[in-house]
Structure 1
């Protein structure tokens, strides 16, 4: 009787294609887990909205006071002892959530696809740190797109990312094709906040470069999604003369190298000439045929916007100019936003 053992198998060895099959199974399981977690979160957010909406309605119709909320919290905890998040404070946050999104349950795809897909803790950050639905939706979408943790979301709000993104002076619209020029513009900020660096305001360029390298994770977070670190003081040999790039990155979505030059003083028009030269050298020596033209970013301590615009007007290399700050005070419109996320966490820990 012929053997039924497959030629690719024996009794002591795994099939040749087993690792590939296993990798595929792991991917399927991880994807299913992610979908299940997302579905559970969406149902929880929907439940919290419904509870908050009911409280809002009864307060408006029947004049419910704080004692009713306290009693409701005790009764719900007794009925569902294993369910967290039923404290008086969290019930009040549910009320605030329903008040902030009155149309959440009316098949409002825009709201549900944003705030309905992020965890409750993230939604509390949006409620307590931001004032308008437009701001909350913007940060909710960014959270989903980039997978921000709650701490990262807090940092991005407190650094006013929405107001800074896409604000650098550039000549991208003249030197890059659409839609790359729009994406490149949206990629840059003004100003960049380097408040994670423990160096003084009078630090030299090399000091800042070294500090940024040592804090590369925070630096990449501030640069934004898509940046991959290539190196610091990258050497270029041009006709026997040696030059050094302050910082070199590769942007995965733009598919191009990004040369970052740091200037500790005011922006000067001659800075664009130096950076243009570096971009030409990178395009000639490092860039591959599949890469898009390299982009330059000049980071200056201060810059006159009109001077920067004039300096870039007739420059044929794609360059952006932005300021950087070594320390950032909390924006005035956020200073009095209470309670803080730390207070929220302490209250919820007591559930």
Structure 2
């Protein structure tokens, strides 16, 4: 009985998700087609700003009278902009795993909407256009507000692959995820972010600077202990996993191990299934010292020698601190150490400041 109930529950939930996705996709495709027709009509007549404004105002009045809300002049401007931004997108730039081609209803709709009377259109072309759109219309409206094409592409890919809601998409954007990842990569890595999103192929791909923990609710002006910070992270573990990035699984808090009859405790232990390695995190709210780095090196050495399996990659250690000193880290750790010091902050960063830093960095590495 329980097995049957579980199967039926999964079936119903999958069907409901498919219906929601189908409705979202048809809305996006409809708005794309409306935008296309507006642009083609403008190009067939006088291309003047006054003409475009009058056209959209007349269309809005007529469509609203017949179909109700959703066709304001502003919304029609979004549809026009949407078509202009996405009309020439190459389907090859998006990974096949990110393309939902199963929605035949949406494909049939698009085929009908694109086909002039008495003619037909290839199903393959229909699926290609349909596969370009993977998010809700509200998400696309937000993405269209991102001026930089590379940054916009990154957030669309990540929102698709990670299943972000509009709220989570806005949070990741406001936290400067793109800039924080880009600043930790080389020029080629930044281009890959825009084209492919965040790929996790080596330990360095896991890192951000800084980590943004505003969701913990710890007031900067109020004293808090490392225990308070750790407890807040555990209470908001789902949010913390999202901030850590892709592939993280939580294993333990205050993981104890004994060596030479002495007990040691690792603050937080995670496992990254993409890299197949342990990731240890030690929390520091005071000044980072060389002893903190040495302690993490000992933790990592223990896990590598006594915990990890032979076919797993070396353990990664992250000392998450309020303020780090790059010179101290560089002189303390060997160049090939799998230990990293990273800062955290309890408030959303200044995106303009991050953008200026990224622009300066781009100039330093050659544009």
- What residue number does 1:133 align with? 149
Matches within 5 A, 1:190-201: 190-201=209-220
Matches within 5 A, 1:260-279: 260-279=281-300
Matches within 5 A, 1:197-346: 197-201=216-220, 202-289=223-310, 291-314=312-335, 316=337, 318-332=338-352
Deviation of 1:199 after TM superposition, in Å, equals: 2.2
Whole-Å Cα distance in 2 between the matches of residues 303 and 210 of structure 1? 22
Any idea what the Cα deviations from partners look like across 1:208-237, whole Å, max 9, x if unmatched?
Answer: 112211221221111112212222222121
Taking structure 2 as the reference length, the TM-score comes to: 0.70
Whole-Å Cα distance in 2 between the matches of residues 114 and 267 of structure 1? 48
Whole-Å Cα distance in 2 between the matches of residues 110 and 304 of structure 1? 39
The alignment yields a C-alpha RMSD, in angstroms, of 3.3
Work out the number of aligned pairs and report it: 302
Question: Is residue 267–residue 308 contact of structure 1 (8 Å, CA) maintained in 2?
Answer: no
Structure 1 stretches lacking a partner, 5+ long: 1-13, 170-179, 336-351
Whole-Å Cα distance in 1 between the matches of residues 217 and 19 of structure 2? 42
1:307 to 1:100, Cα distance in 2 relative to 1, 3 A: farther
Q: Secondary structure, in 3 states, of the residue corresponding to 1:117?
A: coil
- What residue number does 1:72 align with? 59
Whole-Å Cα distance in 2 between the matches of residues 203 and 23 of structure 1? 44
1:241 to 1:277, Cα distance in 2 relative to 1, 3 A: same
| Alignment counterpart, residue 100 of structure 1, candidates 79, 85, 89 | 85
Q: Secondary structure, in 3 states, of the residue corresponding to 1:148?
A: coil
Residues 1:116 and 2:122 are matched in the alignment: no
Whole-Å Cα distance in 1 between the matches of residues 233 and 207 of structure 2? 17
Any idea what the Cα deviations from partners look like across 1:329-350, whole Å, max 9, x if unmatched?
Answer: 4423799xxxxxxxxxxxxxxx
Query: Which entry has the higher C-alpha Rg, 1 or 2?
Result: 1
Deviation of 1:307 after TM superposition, in Å, equals: 3.7
Structure 2 stretches lacking a partner, 5+ long: 95-128, 186-198, 356-367
Question: Is residue 179–residue 354 contact of structure 2 (8 Å, CA) maintained in 1?
Answer: no
Where relative contact order (Cα < 8 A, 6+ residues apart) is larger, the structure is 1
- What residue number does 2:204 align with? 185
1:41 to 1:183, Cα distance in 2 relative to 1, 3 A: farther
Residues 1:156 and 2:172 are matched in the alignment: yes
Return the structure number with greater helix share: 2
1:48 to 1:110, Cα distance in 2 relative to 1, 3 A: farther
1:28 to 1:93, Cα distance in 2 relative to 1, 3 A: same
Matches within 5 A, 1:28-43: 38=21, 41-43=24-26
Whole-Å Cα distance in 2 between the matches of residues 269 and 282 of structure 1? 20
Structure 1 stretch 283-292 or stretch 184-193: which is displaced more?
283-292
Whole-Å Cα distance in 1 between the matches of residues 281 and 257 of structure 2? 14
Question: Is residue 258–residue 294 contact of structure 1 (8 Å, CA) maintained in 2?
Answer: yes
